[in-house]
Amino acid sequence: MKQADWIDARGRKYRVILPDEANDTEAPMGIPLGPPDAVDFLELPEPFATRLHNTLHERGLYRARDIRKNPQAIFGALQSALKVDVHLLMQAYAEAEMEVPFEQQNGRG
């Protein structure tokens, strides 16, 4: 048996087990290792849900036992997935301020 990765139509990465003689293109038919679609349970908005799912994949957090061995790994995955949103939010603030006249930014006008 060997392991292979594949990406679904949503852009989510999965690790599966395949027979040794199988081609990696058969990965969508493999036995899933993970990560599970747990982020769907959380009802998170896209693209954050896919970013979190892929971060779990990148960190090898496929099973509950992976999380139990290192509970901080889940926290790290969440932080990593949110980091992009923080940068986007900071950029949105900066762009919004460039659109507003200086007087209005400082309570004048």
Residue 18, SS3 per DSSP: strand
**Residue 98's pLDDT is what?**
84
Instruction: State pLDDT tens for residues 22-55.
Output: 999 999 999 999 999 888 888 888 999 999 999 9
| Six token digits for residue 100 | 């507003």
DSSP labels, 28-97: GGSEEEE--THHHHTTPPTTHHHHHHHHHHHTT--SHHHHHH-THHHHHHHHHHHHHHHHHHHHHHHHHH
Q: In this model, does residue 20 exceed pLDDT 80?
A: yes
More reliable by pLDDT, 101 or 61: 61
Dump pLDDT digits (tens) for 69-98.
999 999 999 999 888 778 888 898 998 888
